[in-house]
Chains A and B, each alone.
Chain A
Amino acid sequence: MNCQDIKPLLALCGDGGLESSDHLRVEGHLRDCPACRKEVLALQQSWELLGEFEAIEPDPFFVSRFMARVAERVPWHDRLIRSMRRALTPGRTLSAVAAAGLIVAVGVAVLVAHPRQMERSLAEAPLNGMDLEMVETIELAEQFELINDLDFISDMDVIDSLDEPAVS
């Protein structure tokens, strides 16, 4: 193998880019060719020299600034969808459904129990003086509405009957 054939392969020496068969051929050639050995060294040195073009360091606040700016750009419905997705991940969905079911069950139980409870309270609670006066006023107001709707002359017997004690 002559130098012209080997040259395209020299640049890949030491970089893991040669097939094993090519690697053997190149090694064999380099053993006997000082010019190509010098070329390989120069190639490797210039490749190493590239390392002097050093990296720049990013702004230390890049991440926080980016997240702040992206929050402004993302449409509100995208944010809502992401929040919903986050809430409805498999593990969380089960918990959410269980929690919702518990809330519903408790609510139903309260609704069922509460009206009876209320009725019982009203029936059993003794009315004090103020409460009694309020109830009488309400009854009077209800009567008053009725009276307002009546034709005074033609419905006198209705008016008279209002004064009669209620039949229990």
Chain B
Amino acid sequence: MARSNATASPPPDDPDVRLMLDFQKGETRAFEALLRRHHRGVLNFTYRLVGRRDIAEELTHEAFIRVYQGASSYTPRSRFRTWLYTIAKNLSLNELRRRQHQAGSLDELLMPEGAGPVKALPDAQVLPPDEQMIRRERIEAIRAAIDTLPENQRLAVVLRRYEQFSYEEIAATLNVTEKAVKSLLSRAKVHLRQRLAPWVEPG
């Protein structure tokens, strides 16, 4: 897949870029505002890649540390979010490669912390125990399906499905063309459809 300089130029009205430039001038509150706007998204992005909450929290912290320390040399060449998620992506991939290097088996690599946190349903939607178990298994199947995607397909899926990145933003974050992003997503969706077929209601 040919790489290209597919960096989205920063929109002139990107409020995050303005906040970052304010922080560059010494306005610490501007950085706090950026933290509040993005830390949940980055946490979930890293969590969906690495599968462990504790590691996702460390990676999120480290990503914002790098943004903080990079402020003095920050030059807005793309949307702020693109830059931030590129940092988070690189940290997550490094973590995955480190674990792959240490893992004794593929299962160990792909086995995150069990089924992970399952959000408690509101009282009106509390399921009977057997349905709760099915729900947990379904969520685990979804996690496993995402985990088995090749690296770039996984990134494209997480950014598109969960962070609502545009094709342009995904291209800039992954440093590929928009056409490549569409190809990644197309193949990923076919793979996911096959893996999740048992869980999809017949149409």
Contact = CB atoms under 8 A, between A and B. Distances in A.
On whether the two chains bind one another, the answer is yes
Given A12-B185, A17-B185, A52 B25 contact: no
A50 B26 contact: no
A45 interface: yes
Interface string A39-67: 10111011101111111111100110011
B36 A86 contact: no
A9 B183 CA distance: 9
A46 B57 CA distance: 28
Given A55-B40, A82-B28, A46 B192 contact: yes
Contacts of A69: 61
Consensus secondary structure, chain A interface = helix
Nearest to B181: A17
A54 B35 CA distance: 21
Given A50-B161, A86-B25, A56 B53 contact: yes
B85 interface: no
B119 interface: yes
- Chain A residues touching B, range: 35 or more
A63 B36 contact: yes
A43 B189 contact: yes
Contact of A55 (B28, B142, B162, B182): B162
A11 B157 CA distance: 12
B44 A17 contact: no
Given A12-B185, A46-B193, A82-B28, A56 B44 contact: yes
A159 B186 CA distance: 116
B65 A85 contact: no
B32 interface: yes
- Chain B residues touching A, range: 35 or more
Contact of A17 (B64, B65, B116, B182): B182
Interface string A75-114: 0001000111111010000000000000000000000000
Interface in B37-64: 39-40, 43-44, 47-48, 53, 56-57, 60-61, 64
A70 B65 contact: yes
A26 to B, nearest CB: 12
Given A15-B185, A38-B203, A47 B192 contact: yes
A120 interface: no
B196 interface: yes
26 contacts: A11-B189, A12-B182, A12-B186, A17-B167, A17-B182, A43-B189, A46-B195, A46-B199, A47-B192, A52-B138, A53-B48, A54-B139, A55-B44, A56-B117, A58-B43, A58-B57, A62-B35, A62-B60, A63-B35, A70-B68, A78-B72, A82-B26, A82-B28, A83-B26, A86-B25, A89-B26
Interface of A: 7-9, 11-12, 15-17, 38-39, 41-43, 45-47, 49-59, 62-63, 66-67, 69-70, 73-74, 78, 82-87, 89
